[in-house]
Amino acid sequence: MQPKTQEMHDRLYAMLREEQIYRYAASVLNFDQETICPPAAREKQGEIGAALGSKAFIVTKNPAFTEAVEYLYEHRDELDSFDAAMVAARHKQYLADKNITPEKEHAYALAFNKAFVSWLTAKEKADYSLFAPDLAAVRDIQIERTALREDKCDNVFDTLIGDYERGLTQAVLDPIFDRMKERLIPLLARILASKKQIRTDFMTRTVTDEQQRQIADYLLDVIGFDKSRGAITLTEHPFTHDMSRNDVRVTTHFYPQMFDSSMFSVVHEGGHALFEQFCPEENDAHFLHEKTMGMHESVSRFYENRIGRSKEFIHLIFPKCREVFPQVLSDVTEEELYEALNVVRPTLKRTQADEFTYTFHIIIRYEIEKMILDGTADIADLPRIWNDKYEEYLGIRPGNDAEGILQDIHWTFGFGYFPTYAIGNLYNAMYLNTMKQHLDVPALVREGKLPVIRDWMAEHVFRMADRQTPEEWIKAITGRALTPDDYLDYLEEKYTALYEL
């Protein structure tokens, strides 16, 4: 490394450490706000978090910071692969933020926090009108901020999608979702017409919070979550918060008559956590955190569905579940539990959707987001549009706003996230097929040897995620470009067998 490059490298690292302090503190407050913060303090705590975030943003607006980023980007051939990837990401962020002042960034953060607080109130009261003005403000911010960016795509939605999944656009997503609808809509009709009767009466039997805590801790142990570098608590809407590789926090929500809801939230969020806990140590040392949300959702949904809802996993956890939930499972067989956990039943809530119909929830949100951002839908009219789409795709209609348009937190901070859930399913279907060429995955799951699977994931899925584009990453793992076919073939095979079609 040339002396000038070393000088700029050292300067950038010093400023990144300062930025990290503010962001870490803001993250802790954000985690608290969404978990144990008293309702009356949420808005104030959000304001403090926004102020800390603004301090971090100010660091990146310092001319000395941007000079270092620009110089190192031009001389990235002198850097190691970690620093080169970090600088490339910082340069892209610089182009995105170049025309946004700290004052404007702070105003945006306050608006998002206000939207979060009003969403909570609106959901509690099942009244969308309480959230609509703030949702309109979020939309306007997204449009305004995109217009200021120097790295923007041809349209707002493609730019926002790309923030979560680099290189992904509507031109890529539209044919994928059309293909999925083409194959899944007829299959859903066949499933719903099947004469196969799946027993589910025990799924609503009452359980205690303490029982659910025991199962949550057990499941995190099973999948290989490192509790010395992670924690779990409760929230309204489950999420994972990674402060650093050594501080990864997962959350869940307990429902007394849906014991499976928390179970699969824990496995899902635990998947996110494993991705952070078992990525290379060098990532933290190089301030490198560039995994896309499609990559992340691929891992969380891999653990939730491909592992968690498999016959082998149910076989593994059945004795413990029966021990902890005797009032639920004492008269239930292992096969009955497997079938009940995989039953196809259109539901209004995305987070409670079965594996098969889940994709429709994402398509609905994707189509509505397009309408919001291209101006073909009025904010006030969104509940009707939402309800109509649920009726069209799933044959059900929300009875109120809380179980309809207000169910997700995501729109309080913007648009473009939802497609990553679906893309994640496509990724994990592809790399699981590759994994099966090297490991006897069903046997490992059945025998409780999930750390072996985790270690394969660490080497092949986690290791390069921060240093490759999604396109490079999935091709490096599987040798193939992104396709929905592996996932669709899996769904057809699994549910044809389950429903004896």
Q: What is the pLDDT of residues 163-178, one digit of tens each?
A: 999 999 999 999 999 9
Residue 154 lies in a domain: no
Position 351 confidence tier, pLDDT thresholds 50, 70, 90: confident
Q: Structural domain tally of the chain?
A: 2
174 and 116 within one domain: no
**Both tokens assigned to 215:** 């199962």
| Cα angle, residue 272 at apex, residues 466 and 115 outer, rounded to 5° | 95
Has residue 138 been placed in a domain? no
Domain of 477 in residue numbering reads as 170-498
C-alpha span between 72 and 49 (Å, rounded):
30
pLDDT at 437 over 90: yes
Model confidence at 237: pLDDT above 90: no
Q: What is the pLDDT of residue 1?
A: 87
- At 50 the pLDDT is 87
Q: Which residue in 34, 105, 165, 269 is the catalytic one?
A: 269
Q: Are residues 370 and 464 in the same domain?
A: yes
Q: What angle do CA 499, 397, 387 make, to 5 degrees?
A: 120
Alpha helices in 197-258 (DSSP H): 209-223
Whether the Cβ atoms of residue 336 and residue 471 lie closer than 8 Å to each other: no
pLDDT of residue 341: 97
Chain position carrying tokens 């620009």: 70
Look at residue 156 and tell me if it is in a domain.
no
Taking the mean position of all CA atoms in its chain, how far away is CA 187? 26
Same-domain check for residues 102 and 216: no
- Residue 70's Cβ-count burial label (10 Å; 0-12, 13-18, 19+) is middle
| Residue 306 maps to a domain | yes
The two three-digit tokens of residue 297, written as one number: 């959702």
Cα separation of 171 and 179, whole Å? 13
- For residue 385, the model assigns a pLDDT of 97
Q: The CATH number of the domain where 441 resides is what? A: 1.10.1370.30
Q: Band of the pLDDT at 236, cuts 50, 70, 90?
A: confident
Find out whether 429 and 487 touch, Cβ atoms under 8 Å.
yes
Q: What is the pTM of this model?
A: 0.91
Q: Which of helix, strand or coil describes residue 239?
A: coil
Active site residue 334: no
Single out the residue of 470, 466, 472, 479 nearest to residue 435, CA to CA: 479
Residue 288 shares a structural domain with residue 421: yes
Which of 106, 127, 148 represents a domain boundary (last residue)?
127
Determine phi and psi for 407, rounding to 5 degrees.
Answer: -75, -25
> Measuring CA to CA, how many Å separate 303 from each of 266, 385, 454?
10, 33, 10
State the virtual CA torsion across 120, 126, 128, 129 in degrees, nearest 10.
-100
**Would residue 318 count as lying in a domain?**
yes
| Residue 402 in domain | yes
What HEC string does 70-110 produce?
Answer: HHHHHCHHHCCHHHHHHHHHHHHHHHHHCCCCHHHHHHHHH
| 327 and 394 belong to one structural domain | yes
Q: Cβ contacts of residue 201 below 8 Å, gap of 6+?
A: none
With pLDDT > 70 as the criterion, what percentage of the chain qualifies? 100
274 shares its domain with 210: yes
- H/E stretch holding 233 reads strand 230-234
Residues with Cβ within 8 Å of 323's Cβ and at least 6 positions away in sequence, in order, are none
- Mean pLDDT over each residue of the chain, to the nearest integer: 95
The confidence score (pLDDT) of residue 240 equals 95
If asked whether residues 368 and 293 sit together in one domain, one would say: yes
Q: Are residues 280 and 407 in the same domain?
A: yes
Is the pLDDT reported for residue 474 higher than 90? yes
Q: Which of 127, 151, 181 is the last residue of a domain?
A: 127
Tell me: the pLDDT tens digits for 98-143? 999 989 989 999 999 999 999 999 999 999 999 999 999 999 999 9
pLDDT tens-digit map of 387-412: 999 999 999 999 999 999 999 999 99
Q: What angle do CA 417, 256, 205 make, to 5 degrees?
A: 115
The reply to whether 261 and 328 lie within a common domain is: yes
Has residue 160 been placed in a domain?
Answer: no
Is 334 among the domain residues?
A: yes
End position of a domain, from candidates 127, 161, 195: 127
Give CA–CA dist 399/387, Å, rounded.
Answer: 9
Query: Residue 6: is its pLDDT beyond 90?
Result: yes
Say what percent of the chain tops pLDDT 90.
Answer: 93
Q: Are residues 88 and 191 in the same domain?
A: no
Query: 250 - beta bridge partners?
Result: 232, 240
The verdict on 431 and 482 lying in the same domain is yes
**DSSP helix, strand, coil percent of the chain (3-state; round to 5):** 70, 5, 25
Confidence of residue 280 (pLDDT cuts 50, 70, 90): very high
The 10 Å CB-count burial string (b at 16+, else e) for 469-479 is: ebeebbeebbe
pLDDT class for 231, splitting at 50, 70, 90? very high
Question: C-alpha angle with apex 259: 426 to 496, nearest 5 degrees?
Answer: 40
What number of other Cβ atoms are within 10 A of residue 377's Cβ?
A: 18
Q: What is the pLDDT of residues 78-90, one digit of tens each?
A: 999 999 999 999 9
Pair 105, 241 in one domain: no
Tell me which amino acid residue 193 is: A
Q: How confident is the model at residue 46 (pLDDT cuts 50, 70, 90)?
A: confident
Please list the alpha-helical segments (H only) found in 375-460: 382-394, 419-435, 441-446, 450-457
Listed residue (348, 341, 340) closest to 393, CA to CA: 348
β-bridge mates for residue 233, sequence order? 251
Mean pLDDT of 495-501: 97
pLDDT in tens, 56-79: 999 999 999 999 999 999 999 999
Count how many residues are written for the chain: 501
